[in-house]
Amino acid sequence: MSDATKRTEFILQELMVHGRVLAEDLSQRLHVNSSTIRRDLEKLERQQLLRRVHGGAVPLDTPSYSTYAGELTFQKNMHKLVEEKNRIAAAALHFIQPGDTLALSPGTTTTHLARQIRRALIPDLTVVTNAVNIAMELAQVPGLTVTLTGGFLLSDFFALVGPMAEQSLSQMFVGKAFIGVTGINAAYGLTGPNQLEALTHKKTIERAQQTIVLADHSKLGQVALHAIAPISAVHTLITDGAAPAQPVQDIKDAGVEVTLA
């Protein structure tokens, strides 16, 4: 990977995490002069990956949901284990090929994946989601089609749930479903804290040829209140390097492929 590519990845990751980057700070942290940073930012702006402002840069299009998400559970969780979730999302991106049909469940790690997809510009993708914020993240991405289900809105996580969402999901098939969960356990499978959201997760998994679970190390071995699916429904788990060894081994023994990001 070239130095320029490494700088680009660093700049975009900082932008994703903090919502703004300062040129002077980037120059110091990357050990390059300010003119190099200016050229990097100009190039990224031409690629429509950010918008330059006085002293630095901001995201090209701050999603409108961010204006009212500040106090929600979602926004609080987005600031937890950010580096781990970004690595998981980057690893998940390698599972996506041009022409794929995907489902993305609501959640913070799947939101990180949506942002990775937005940057990667993989051609001819179709994304099905019952997460309003994910649909907005992916709006107007060239070569990408978004299908958003109907349903009752769980505002804490921008999730559309209930009979309308389940009916919408039941009418579609996808090649790969990327699912975020609260708990993954070899004995109890996938679980979540909300019954309605658990039911839409279950329906999404049923309509997918391949289920890929995105879960940071804090979710491994955990069991939440509502069952989503048995561990046998999972093809791949992507987690981070801090995942505890025993739950990982138990999940592998259950026949799940595990990727450590």
- What confidence tens digit (pLDDT) does each residue in 86-108 have? 899 999 999 999 999 999 999 99
Mean pLDDT of the chain: 90
Q: Mean pLDDT over residues 255-261, rounded? A: 97
Please report which confidence band the pLDDT of residue 76 belongs to, taking 50, 70 and 90 as the band edges: low
Report the alpha-carbon angle 28-26-217, nearest 5. 110
pLDDT at 47 over 90: no
Domain with CATH 3.40.50.1360 in the chain: 66-260
Query: Considering the chain, what percentage of its residues have pLDDT values greater than 70?
Result: 92
Q: Which CATH number fits domain 3-58: 1.10.10.10, 3.40.50.2000, 2.120.10.70, 2.170.120.20?
A: 1.10.10.10
Q: Taking 50 as the threshold, does the pLDDT of residue 68 lie above it? A: no
- In whole angstroms, give the CA distance from residue 236 to residue 210: 8
- What's the CATH class of domain 66-260? alpha beta
**Helix (H/G/I), strand (E/B), else coil: 191:** strand
How far apart CA 22 and CA 2 sit, in angstroms, is 22
User: Which residues of the chain are in CATH 1.10.10.10 domains?
Assistant: 3-58
Instruction: Give dist(CA 36, CA 33) in Å, integer.
Output: 6
Q: Under a CB-based contact definition with an 8 Å cutoff, are residues 128 and 152 in contact?
A: no
